[in-house]
């Protein structure tokens, strides 16, 4: 992978804020993550602070709104799942220019996730390896928090996954439980069957398992709609490590069960371009700049295979506006960022929004 150009003018975040964050917890990336969320949570609670931040970083109104799978997005640039798993900073994200936020991944049972340390920065590659393991407070706790928020004023996606303690044969019930608890609060739901950090989870991408899961989730959604709730789009988040034939089989299941869109892609178990890095042997999923080419290829394949009929949220490898443009050009209707925030800061969202036609 090509190195980041030294000629690029670094932002104030990169020069001043990022070095401080990287020293927190003696360099433990998860400590920096937690402290950043705590700061954003405080920002969202201070009267006038979100408005001031919006003036500084450029609100989402800099972009043209888009309507995708029936949901109106004030900006097509969203925050990917994993950053704010438990939804503690939801008042702050729009001030940074995000047009939507995806919380989670959340599970039916609260769980601590994998043993620490479990989050690693590969700074020279603008990459991250994580094996967090769906650490979250559970879907019931998230439902309570979202009820307390009330109307957020922007679209909220909710990523749901399988609890580690739940046997694979009971996975459907686990997902359905979370969907039922959270259905009234989400504008769309992402079915995460592609994280590499929960044992056996990726087998749910197989056609038979996936069809059973999606059929049950749509049945539950239909029942909740009959009970008086608005219908909500259900999306599937896929891995970047699938073969094209496996992707095609998965797409057939998705279109056959009424899935509203695809999120492409999750982290990769491969180590493209970072094989020689001392941290490359750490277990977990790789994200950040090294994933850019792979995610764009997967998005393009899905777009071509479905004739553009199935909306795509492109995610993976976005660290500048050109990366986002590549995903839009490949066929994505929306994009999400996460690892790029770690390296480029909140100005990245403003830059992408201003680059859009």
Residues annotated as part of the active site: 195
Rounded CA gap, 309 and 303, in Å? 8
Cα(204)–Cα(267) distance, integer angstroms: 16
* Two tokens, residue 40: 């954003």
Angle at 270 between CA 267 and CA 275, to 5 degrees: 125
Of 269, 350, 286, 345, nearest in space to 17 by CA: 345
Pairing of strands 71-73, 66-68: antiparallel
Cis peptide before 105 (omega within 30 of 0): yes
For residue 249, what are its two tokens? 């089989």
Residue 350 CA to residue 271 CA, distance in Å, equals 29
Query: How many Å apart are CA 122 and CA 157, to the nearest integer?
Result: 28
DSSP for 83-94 reads SSTT-TTTTTGG
Determine the Cα–Cα distance for residues 308 and 316; give it in Å rounded to an integer.
20
Find tokens 């290829």 and name the residue. Answer: 297
């Amino acid at each position: 992978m090509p190195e980041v150009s030294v000629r690029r003018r670094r932002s104030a975040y990169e020069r001043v804020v990022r070095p401080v964050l990287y020293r927190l917890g003696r360099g433990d990336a998860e400590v920096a993550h937690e402290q950043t969320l705590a700061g954003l949570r405080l920002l969202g609670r201070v009267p006038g602070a979100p408005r001031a931040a919006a003036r500084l970083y450029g609100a989402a109104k800099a972009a043209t709104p888009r309507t995708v799978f029936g949901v109106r997005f004030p900006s097509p640039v969203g925050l990917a799942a994993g950053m704010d798993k438990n939804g503690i900073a939801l008042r702050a994200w729009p001030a940074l220019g995000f047009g939507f936020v995806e919380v989670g991944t959340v599970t039916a049972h609260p769980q601590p996730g994998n043993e620490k340390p479990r989050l690693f920065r590969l700074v020279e590659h603008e990459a991250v390896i994580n094996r967090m393991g769906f650490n979250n407070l559970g879907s019931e706790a998230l439902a309570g928090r979202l009820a307390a928020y009330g109307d957020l004023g922007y679209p909220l996606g909710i990523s749901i996954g399988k609890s580690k303690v739940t046997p694979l044969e009971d996975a459907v019930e686990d997902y359905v439980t979370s969907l039922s608890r959270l259905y009234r609060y989400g504008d769309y739901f992402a079915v995460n069957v592609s994280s590499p950090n929960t044992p056996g989870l990726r087998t749910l991408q197989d056609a038979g398992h996936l069809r059973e899961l999606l059929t049950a989730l749509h049945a539950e959604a239909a029942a909740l709609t009959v009970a008086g709730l608005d219908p909500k789009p259900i999306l599937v988040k896929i891995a970047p490590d699938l073969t094209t034939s496996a992707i095609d089989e998965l797409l057939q299941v998705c279109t056959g069960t009424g899935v509203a869109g695809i999120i492409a892609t999750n982290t990769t178990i491969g180590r493209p371009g970072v094989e020689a890095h001392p941290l490359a042997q750490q277990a977990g999923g790789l994200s950040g700049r090294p994933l850019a080419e792979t995610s764009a290829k997967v998005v393009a394949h899905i777009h071509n295979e479905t004739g553009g009929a199935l909306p795509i949220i492109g995610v993976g490898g976005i660290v500048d506006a050109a990366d986002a443009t590549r995903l839009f050009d490949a066929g994505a209707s929306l994009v999400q960022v996460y690892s790029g925030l770690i390296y480029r800061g909140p100005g990245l969202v403003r830059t992408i929004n201003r680059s859009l036609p």
